[in-house]
Amino acid sequence: MRLNFLFNDKGFYKTLLTLAIPMVIQNLMLSSLNLVDNIIIGRLNVTAIASVGLANQYFFLLNLVLFGIASGAAIFTAQYWGNKDLPNIKRVLGICIFTGATAALLFTIGGLAFPKQILSIFSNDKHVIAMGSDYLRIIVFSYIMTSITFSFSFTLRSTGNVKPPMVVSMIALSINTILNYALVYGYLGMPRMGIRGSAIATLIARTLEVTLMLSIVYIKKYPIAASFKELTDLTFPFIRKFYRVTIPVILNESIWALGVSIYAIVYAHMGTNVIASINISSTIERITWVIFMGFGNAGAVMIGNKIGEKKPKEAYSYAKRFIVLGPTLAMLAGVIVALGSNIILAVYTIPPLVHNYAQNNLYVFSIFLCARTFNFICIIGILRSGGDTAYSLFIDLGGVWFVGVPMALLAGLYLHLPVYYVYALISLEEVFKIIFGAPRILSKKWINNLTTS
């Protein structure tokens, strides 16, 4: 591939920046304020960090299920938008809302009825489980609202309207951070509530978030401002087509989440200091990752639109650009994270051992960031946008269950290696994904126009 190929289409970069920058800002706000929240909780003690981290691991599972549902719906939305088919976009949104809310309801019931049993899967520390259970019993009431926000946010993005989700998230997350600070420590005239205060702050913020999202969509009359009748105007063939493409995505995210949860279980059984280090390093990693999430999700919209417009050659051309530009940026970002890790961790009040673990975790993240970025763009940005969800399922789950999980169990529970070595061995799953993902992109078999099938 000649280098001039990468830069001879100004329209590509204009669209990329228009889509990606708001997504990056939104995700950066989310990750940055999560970092601040993490630091606020961290001032309590290491047990508090670990307990909130474990409770959020349960939400992480739901988050990935919702991501699977919404991103599966976004495959259709992007292509229908390219085909200018607004009625079907509204039908897809209706299915997405119903499916996401159902999943969120099940997680809410589970978190209310069995909080200690759920958290005991991840840890055997009674203090961590007790504190995490108090947090979980409150935070689960935000799950259904989060599912609705997911549905509208992803649908807006797929139609090129990326600014509303960004603005809503910025407002909600800012309020969440202020309330966290006030309710955890009793500032601004609020009661001192510890980690329960953090859960209440998040619940209030997510309530505000869904309210703002719906208000903006319907008051400003965005194209997806559907009536109840339009959302439920469904036929069995349409529903069947939707789930035929989307179920592999939902299974992908759900079963992948179970694999990642095994990583969390392994880390938890390695000790509270390990849990704290992973919670800290992963929060920092998410801040770096926002660039590539925005990049990959912009790719999904752009490539999906081109397929919907019946321009497969342009879709393939866009795919090649993304798989070169993304990993190149990732190499630069990895160097920055590695060199700046010690400075970043200085803001935490943590024991030297936790600091050492977290810093080495960040080194491992930096080494594998390029491969991880390629795989994210491959699976989320390219294969799924073309409706090639079954093959995406194979790549993602193969990496986790054939490589990552066995490595985690062997290195963490049998060999008892330090956490950063365990993390490095788990990250070898990225190599597996590249081996099977790259040839699939080049084959063009992933390009499927769902608007005509």
Number of separate domains in the chain: 1
Q: What is the pLDDT of residue 35?
A: 62
Write out pLDDT tens, residues 53-93.
778 778 878 888 888 898 888 888 988 998 888 999 999 99
In a domain, 255, yes or no: yes
Neighbours of 429 (CB within 10 A): 25
In a domain, 238, yes or no: yes
CA-closest candidate to residue 345, choices 359, 334, 357? 359
256, 402 Cβ separation under 8 angstroms: no
Residue 129: HSE in the Cβ half-sphere, 13 Å Cα cutoff: 15
Amino acid at 347: V
Q: What is the pLDDT of residue 34?
A: 60
In a domain, 364, yes or no: yes
Q: How far does CA 262 lie from the centroid of its chain?
A: 18
In a domain, 299, yes or no: yes
CA-closest candidate to residue 40, choices 49, 31, 32? 49
106, 90 Cβ separation under 8 angstroms: no
DSSP letter for 57, please: H
Q: What is the pLDDT of residue 228?
A: 93
Q: pTM score, two decimals?
A: 0.78
Contacts of 410 (CB under 8 A, 6+ apart): 425
> CA-to-CA distance for 30 and 340, rounded, in angstroms?
21
Instruction: State which residues form the domain around 227.
Output: 3-443
Output phi, psi for 221, to 5 deg.
55, 55
Q: What is the pLDDT of residue 283?
A: 80
Q: Which residue has the tokens 């259904």?
A: 144
CA-closest candidate to residue 116, choices 58, 46, 66, 45? 58
Biggest distance spanned by C-alpha atoms of the chain: 62
CA-closest candidate to residue 273, choices 49, 40, 54, 57? 49
Q: What is the pLDDT of residue 110?
A: 94
Contacts of 442 (CB under 8 A, 6+ apart): none
> CA-to-CA distance for 412 and 429, rounded, in angstroms?
16
User: Mapped to the 3 state alphabet, what secondary structure does 62-94 carry?
Assistant: HHHHHHHHHHHHHHHHHHHHHCCCHHHHHHHHH
- The pair of structure tokens assigned to 104 is 């969120």
pLDDT along the chain (453 residues), means of 10: 64 86 78 66 74 80 86 88 90 94 95 89 80 89 93 90 87 86 85 86 91 94 92 91 88 84 87 86 85 89 90 92 93 94 84 91 95 95 91 92 95 92 95 95 92 70
> CA-to-CA distance for 217 and 300, rounded, in angstroms?
22
Q: What is the pLDDT of residue 204?
A: 93
In a domain, 208, yes or no: yes
> CA-to-CA distance for 86 and 434, rounded, in angstroms?
36
Measured distance between the N- and C-terminal CA atoms of the chain, rounded to whole angstroms: 32
In a domain, 452, yes or no: no
Q: What is the pLDDT of residue 87?
A: 92
In a domain, 453, yes or no: no
CA-closest candidate to residue 95, choices 250, 231, 226? 231
242, 76 Cβ separation under 8 angstroms: yes
> CA-to-CA distance for 446 and 22, rounded, in angstroms?
27
Q: Which residue has the tokens 């800002």?
A: 25
In a domain, 165, yes or no: yes
